């Protein structure tokens, strides 16, 4: 036992330096890693520009680009500082577009610098494309805090192959696409004709239907202004209150085509409100709708008098 | 409502005789005067901001003082200080330029926060304390502060809470070609004409009382609230925060003043909609997604257009 124990002791004594070395190596590795992370973070923080970003937008020169026709994406950033380059501007990945080139300009003015990057791209597939926002990492010059500025995102609708054929310079490719579209159209038409024929055959086997009376298509109701004016007069004569005035005002505003978003000034600019009598009426109803409580009865009376003049 | 040519429009006509164009500035100054609120004018130099303020004071026979804000300005340079008088062996109070009817705070954002606070506190309280004594400011008392949007170096941006104390903000734009030609003809060979007083300070106090009595219908009050709430609840990507309830009060007061200028004793939706941008623009936190070329104005107009007119 003593020998075993001794041997055991010897063995453990021989292993200890190895364990220490491993531990020391691991610690060193950890320290180096931590140091590297710290250095990277510090370098990142130091590399950010101190900027006062006042604008960061992403636009396109067309909202509906055509397939295979190059178009431009425009990144505009405005900062209050005078700079020659924006260092940490990240453009989105344009997975659905092919990048053809880009051009960057920075213009200094009294209000700062305007950075503009024009990216030329082309779409190979039709449909909606959403482009993620452009981001800019910078240190806010006002408070010294790091900030990631993000522009708007952009959704474009790439026009389909018809537009591409019309626009593409490659005549053979266009002709091929056109012919395949024609074939598809012919197949669809043939299918539709077949369905119609089948339905017609089935219907013919049924007993004869009752004669159908075809009605004339409904004609849009065009209200005579006199009808609206008489209706407004009736409303106001029955209810000589502010609420009645507001209902009559609504009828007259509808008569001249006003929407809910328009004030009297807007309504008076409408072509149907050029008649001085209509303008006087609109003003009288505005007064009846918003004046003092004490002034409502005379205001309503004035509006009724105006309506009576116009409906006489 | 009287229509005898003695209303506040008489001041407006007097100012128009001196200032070419800038109808927005003239109306903004009058609205501020009638509401007893302070006006912030933002625009590049050389657009007759100072002339407009001086002319307003002249037209009212009031006292005008101009304070050029600089980084080394001290609060005592504005409100006043106490100086030891050796003959009397006592401290004498020397009042600062804030003791005037119309005070022009030129380039307010060039002074540090301490000085801005001193001015804005006086604007709010309408009194200043110099040493042991509190002195009321004259009535009417209106501060017109200017800011230059072009230079940002060496400036101290006004905090949101301080911006909120201005009743309205007017964006001063460049004149049209025809107006610039008129300016050339009017001022090229002579200084700006001095305006003869057309109203008294007592008249201003009377107009203010009239403005307070202007009727705003309940439907119009709901419209005002909706206009302010939409700035908070629209969740527009270009807006970080919307306007405070102080904007609601400001729009109501401005709509009353606008109705008075239009010689009505009741406000209509047109009054509210025309003054809403003046009260809202500086109370909304627009972020960097708004472009410099009037982007904020367009966003604000789109929000206002969303609210149905009563």
Phi-psi region of B294 (alpha: psi -120 to 50; beta: other; left: phi over 0): left
Average pLDDT score over chain B: 86
B239-241 vs B39-42, strand pairing mode? unpaired
Instruction: List residues in chain B touching A: CB distance below 8 A.
Output: 149-152, 157, 215, 217, 219-220, 237, 265-270, 273, 288-292, 295, 305-309
The predicted structure's pLDDT at residue B268:
95
> Most confidently modeled of A283-297, B176-190, B232-246?
A283-297
The segment with the largest mean pLDDT, out of A86-100, A212-226, B148-162, is A86-100
Q: Give the best-scoring range by mean pLDDT among A308-312, B103-107, B271-275.
A: B271-275
pLDDT bin (cut points 50, 70, 90) of residue B151 is low
Average pLDDT, integer, range B16-24: 82
A179 has pLDDT over 50: yes
Least Cα distance to A66 among A129, A140, A108, A136 occurs for: A129
Domains and CATH numbers, chain A: 51-162 (2.60.40.1510), 225-311 (no CATH)
A261 neighbourhood in chain B, CB within 8 Å: 305-309
Residue B232 contacts residue B241 (beta carbons within 8 Å):
yes
Interface test with A, best of B289, B290, B304, B306 (most A CBs within 10 A): B289
> Any CB–CB contact under 8 A between A280 and chain B?
no
- Say how far residue A32 (Cα) sits from the centre of its chain: 48
3-state secondary structure of B53: helix
pLDDT at residue A11 above 60? no
Interface touch B150/A111, C-beta < 8 Å: yes
Can you give the pLDDT at residue A208? Answer: 58
The rounded radius of gyration (Å) of the Cα atoms in chain B is 20
Contact B289 A151 (CB under 8 A): yes
- The residues, ordered by sequence, that sit 6+ positions from A80 with a Cβ below 8 Å of its Cβ are A51, A52, A54, A111, A112, A141, B152
User: CA A40 to CA A31: how far, in whole Å?
Assistant: 14
B295, closest residue in chain A (CA to CA)? A55
Question: In this predicted structure, what is the pLDDT of residue A31?
Answer: 62
Residue B14 scores a pLDDT above 60: yes
Q: How far apart, in whole angstroms, are the C-alpha atoms of residue B148 and residue B294?
A: 15
Residues from chain B that touch A151, judged by Cβ atoms under 8 A, are 289
User: Residues of A with CB below 8 A from B268's CB?
Assistant: 263-264, 286, 290
What is the reported pLDDT for B199? Answer: 87
pLDDT at B31 over 60: yes
Lowest mean pLDDT among A175-189, A226-240, B174-188: B174-188
B chain contacts of residue A246, beta-carbon cutoff 8 Å: 219
When comparing pLDDT for A39 and A117, which is higher? A117
Mean pLDDT, rounded, for A209-226: 61
Tell me which residues of chain A, numbers 203 to 222, contact chain B at a CB-CB cutoff of 8 Å: none
Q: Specify the pLDDT at position A93.
A: 80
Q: What is the pLDDT of residue A5?
A: 35
**Contact between A290 and B308 using a beta-carbon 8 Å cutoff:** no
Residues 6 or more apart in contact with residue B134 via CB below 8 angstroms: B127, B128
> What residues does each domain of chain B span?
1-73+99-212, 214-310
> What's the CA gap between B10 and B4, in Å, rounded?
10
DSSP code at position A268: H
Distance from CA of A128 to the nearest CA of B (A): 21
Superfamily of domain covering B1-73+99-212: P-loop containing nucleotide triphosphate hydrolases (3.40.50.300)
- A120 three-state secondary structure: strand
| Min Cα separation B215/chain A (Å) | 6
Region A71-86 average pLDDT? 87
Give dist(CA A128, CA A145) in Å, integer. Answer: 37
Question: Given this structure, which CATH class describes domain B214-310?
Answer: mainly alpha
With an 8 Å Cβ cutoff, are B289 and A111 in contact? Answer: no
pLDDT tens for each residue of B230-260: 999 888 888 888 999 999 999 999 999 999 9
C-alpha distance from B279 to closest chain A C-alpha (Å): 19
Give percent of chain A above pLDDT 90: 21
CB contact under 8 A, B270 and A264: yes
Q: Which of B289, B292, B307 sits opposite A111 (nearest CB)?
A: B292
Sign of CA dihedral A139, A144, A146, A147: negative
Please report the pLDDT score of residue B273 as a whole number: 95
Tokens of A183: 């074939």
Highest mean pLDDT of the ranges A2-6, A285-289, B62-66: A285-289
pLDDT of residue A162: 54
Same fold, B1-73+99-212 and B214-310: no
Identify the weakest region by mean pLDDT among A13-22, A140-149, A173-182, A243-252: A13-22
Q: What is the mean pLDDT of chain A?
A: 78
Q: Considering only residues A215 and B105, tell me which one the structure prediction assigns the higher pLDDT.
A: B105
The confidence score (pLDDT) of residue B307 equals 92
Mutate to test the interface with A, among B217, B275, B288, B298 (most CBs of A within 10 A): B288
The H or E element spanning position B118 is helix B113-125
Cβ contact (<8 Å) for A149 and B288?
yes
Interface test with B, best of A56, A116, A148, A263 (most B CBs within 10 A): A263
DSSP B183-210: HHHHHSSSPPPPPPP-S-HHHHHHHHHH
Of A151, A242, A264, the CB nearest to B268: A264
Which chain B residue shows the shortest CA-CA distance from A260?
B308
Indicate the burial class of A97 (C-beta count within 10 angstroms; 0-12, 13-18, 19 or more): buried
In A, which residues are within 8 Å of B273 by CB distance? 263
Please tell me which of the candidates B152, B215, B269 has its beta carbon nearest to residue A264. Answer: B269
The mean pLDDT of A279-295, rounded to a whole number, is: 93
* Any B CB within 8 A of A52 CB: yes
> A7: pLDDT confidence band, cut at 50, 70 and 90?
very low
Q: ipTM, 2 decimals?
A: 0.80
pLDDT at residue A8 greater than cutoff 50: no
Chain B residues closer than 8 Å to A294 by CB = none
Q: How far apart are CA B223 and CA B82, in angstroms?
A: 50
Q: Which residues pair with B128 in a beta bridge?
A: B135
The answer on pLDDT for A299 being more than 90 is: yes
Across residues B77-93, what is the average pLDDT? Answer: 87
Closest CA to B102 of B38, B45, B158, B47: B38
What local confidence, expressed as pLDDT, does residue A1 receive?
35
A53–chain B Cβ distance below 8 A for any pair: yes
Pairwise CB contact (< 8 Å): A56 & B309: no
The conformational region for residue A144 under phi > 0 = left, psi -120 to 50 = alpha, else beta, is left
Of residues B96, B11, B21, the one with CA closest to residue B55: B11
Question: pLDDT value at position B222?
Answer: 95
Q: Quote the pLDDT of residue A3.
A: 34
Count Cβ neighbours within 10 Å for each residue of A25-44 and write b for 16 or more, e otherwise: eeeeeeeeeeeeeeeeeeee
pLDDT over threshold 80, residue B73:
yes
Q: Considering only CA atoms, which of B3, B10, B1 is closest in space to residue B204?
A: B10
Contact yes or no for B234/B280 (Cβ under 8 A): no
CA distance B240 to B245: 16
* pLDDT tens per residue, range A114-126: 888 888 888 888 8
- Region B124-134: mean pLDDT is 86
CA B108 – CA B242 distance, rounded (Å)? 24
Question: Three-state DSSP class for B246?
Answer: helix
């Amino acid at each position: 036992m003593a020998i075993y124990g001794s041997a055991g002791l010897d063995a453990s004594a021989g292993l200890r330096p190895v364990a220490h070395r491993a531990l020391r190596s691991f610690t060193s590795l950890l320290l180096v890693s931590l140091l590297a992370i710290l250095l990277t973070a510090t370098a990142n923080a130091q590399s950010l520009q101190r900027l006062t970003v006042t604008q960061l937008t992403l636009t396109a020169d067309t909202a509906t680009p055509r397939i295979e026709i190059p178009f431009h994406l425009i990144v505009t950033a405005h900062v209050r500082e005078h700079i020659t380059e924006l260092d940490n501007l990240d453009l989105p990945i344009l997975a659905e577009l092919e990048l053809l080139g880009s051009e960057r300009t920075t213009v200094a003015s009294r209000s700062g610098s305007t950075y503009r990057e024009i990216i030329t791209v082309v779409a190979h597939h039709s449909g909606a494309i959403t482009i993620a926002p452009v981001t800019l990492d910078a240190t806010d010059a006002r408070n010294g805090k790091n900030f990631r500025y993000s522009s708007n995102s952009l959704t474009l609708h790439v026009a389909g192959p018809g537009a591409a054929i019309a626009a593409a310079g490659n005549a053979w490719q266009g002709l091929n696409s056109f012919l395949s579209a024609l074939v598809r159209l012919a197949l669809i038409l043939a299918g539709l004709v077949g369905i119609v024929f089948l339905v017609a055959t089935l219907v013919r086997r049924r007993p004869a239907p009752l004669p159908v009376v075809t009605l004339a298509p409904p004609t849009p109701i065009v209200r005579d202004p006199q009808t609206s004016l008489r209706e407004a007069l009736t409303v106001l004569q029955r209810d000589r209150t502010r609420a009645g005035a507001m209902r009559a005002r609504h009828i007259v505003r509808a008569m001249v085509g006003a929407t809910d978003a328009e004030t009297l000034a807007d309504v008076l600019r409408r072509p149907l409100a050029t008649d001085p009598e209509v303008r006087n009426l609109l003003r009288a109803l505005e007064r009846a709708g918003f004046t003092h409580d004490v002034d409502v009865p005379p205001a309503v009376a004035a509006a009724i008098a105006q309506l009576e003049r116009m409906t006489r | 409502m009287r229509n005898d040519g003695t209303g506040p429009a008489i001041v407006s006509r007097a100012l128009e005789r001196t200032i070419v164009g800038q109808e927005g500035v003239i109306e903004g100054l009058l609205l501020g005067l009638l509401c007893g609120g302070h006006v912030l004018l933002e625009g590049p130099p050389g657009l007759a901001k100072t002339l407009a303020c001086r002319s307003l004071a002249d037209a009212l026979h009031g006292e005008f003082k101009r304070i050029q804000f600089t980084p080394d300005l001290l609060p005592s340079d504005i409100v006043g200080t106490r100086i030891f008088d050796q003959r009397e062996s006592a401290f004498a109070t020397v009042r600062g330029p804030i003791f005037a009817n119309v005070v022009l705070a030129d380039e307010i954002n060039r002074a540090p926060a301490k000085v801005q606070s001193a001015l804005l506190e006086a604007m709010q309280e309408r009194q200043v304390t110099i040493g042991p004594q509190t002195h009321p400011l004259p009535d009417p008392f209106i501060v017109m502060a200017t800011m230059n949007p072009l230079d940002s170096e060496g400036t101290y941006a006004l905090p949101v809470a301080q911006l909120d104390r201005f009743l309205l903000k007017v964006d001063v734009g460049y004149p049209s070609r025809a107006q610039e030609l008129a300016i050339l003809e009017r001022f090229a060979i002579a200084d700006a004409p001095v305006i003869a007083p057309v109203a008294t300070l007592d008249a201003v106090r009377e107009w203010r009382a009239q403005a307070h009595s202007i009727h705003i219908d309940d439907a119009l009050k709901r419209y005002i609230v909706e206009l302010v709430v939409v700035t908070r609840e629209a969740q527009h990507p270009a807006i970080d925060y919307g306007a405070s309830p102080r904007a609601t009060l400001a729009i109501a007061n401005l709509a009353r003043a606008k109705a008075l200028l239009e010689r009505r004793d009741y406000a209509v939706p047109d009054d509210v909609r025309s003054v809403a941008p003046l009260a809202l623009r500086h109370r909304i936190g627009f972020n960097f997604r708004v472009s410099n070329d009037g982007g904020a104005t367009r966003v604000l107009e789109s929000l206002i257009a969303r609210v149905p007119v009563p």
